[in-house]
Structure 1
């Protein structure tokens, strides 16, 4: 088993407050976020949806790599993006869609097998499982 840690320090109130996100590895160290980087176009901070998208894309990509290996297929390059949509619902917000897009360079496999491997990786990725309450998680997989 493995356990990873992240922490947040927040000062102030909702719209005017700011937070600092850190991870135990130091990948994020006191990285800023707040209302404007989450709901407006402030590019000087991050937001939970962006971090969730990065984590999901990373997890799925690694799961796909392992699934290729298990299937005896060599993937020489895999690029994945995740678009996470935060929508207003009543008085609050909900993540209602995550769209994964992957481009992979493989050899010795047809498109049907490639799609099967990709969808298996999406299903078996630990973050996909953790995010099962998201109503829509899509995958567009393109083989190059």
Structure 2
């Protein structure tokens, strides 16, 4: 399997400095700053990138689970909200809320939910993050 990479460059101090992040193959790049991470400033931040990775991984795992069960999804759309909270240990990702909507012809709600729950437990990013963060899922069939 390939090894994936990304890079980041930061210039200046924590509160006034600025940085850039870039995925290894250049598919994503963006600016980040103290304000984009801890306030509502322009740019991206590490937690947003984690959210994108988790939403993408879950959507693919869910799609595979559906196909393995004999249901070809028309689409799976997932949003991940990463919660960065101040704890006794410092700023910590405490929870991630996944919201997923699937257009899956021929499946009933119970099978849809069962497969969604399996994808939440077994996608590689969920497995990486679940020891430290609570992961919730709201999956809806359209």
Describe the SS at the equivalent of 1:82: strand
Runs of 4+ deviating beyond 6 Å: none
Question: Partner of 1:36: helix, strand, or coil?
Answer: helix
SS across alignment from 1:75: coil
Establish whether residue 9 from structure 1 lines up as the match of residue 9 from structure 2.
yes
Tell me the residue number matched to 2:36: 37
Q: C-alpha distance in 1, partners of 2:132/2:79?
A: 17
Q: How far is the alpha carbon of 1:141 from its aligned partner? A: 0.3
Q: What is the aligned partner in structure 2 of residue 85 from structure 1? A: 83
Q: CA–CA distance in 2 between the matches of 1:91 and 1:72?
A: 45
Judged with a 3 Å threshold, the aligned counterparts in structure 2 of structure 1 residues 129 and 37 are, in CA distance, closer, same or farther, namely same
SS in structure 2 at match of 1:58: helix
Structure 2 gap ranges (5+): none
Tell me, in whole angstroms, the C-alpha distance in 2 between the residues paired with 1:91 and 1:52. Answer: 20
> Residue 23 of structure 2 corresponds to which residue in structure 1?
23
Partner of 2:97 in structure 1? 99
Q: 1:13, CA displacement in angstroms?
A: 1.1
Give the CA deviation at 1:127.
0.2
What is the alpha-carbon distance in structure 1 between the residues aligned to residue 53 and residue 41 of structure 2? 21
Tell me, in whole angstroms, the C-alpha distance in 2 between the residues paired with 1:81 and 1:56.
9
What is the TM-score when the length of structure 1 is the normalising length? 0.94
How has the CA–CA distance of structure 1 residues 91 and 129 changed in structure 2, closer, same or farther, with 3 Å as cutoff? closer
| Structure 1 residue 91 displacement after superposition | 5.9
* Counterpart secondary structure, 1:74: coil
Task: String of CA shifts for 1:19-67, please: whole Å, max 9, x gaps.
Answer: 11011121223x2101000011112x10011000000000000001111
Report the TM-score when normalising by structure 2.
0.96
Q: Which structure 1 segments of 5+ residues have no match? A: none
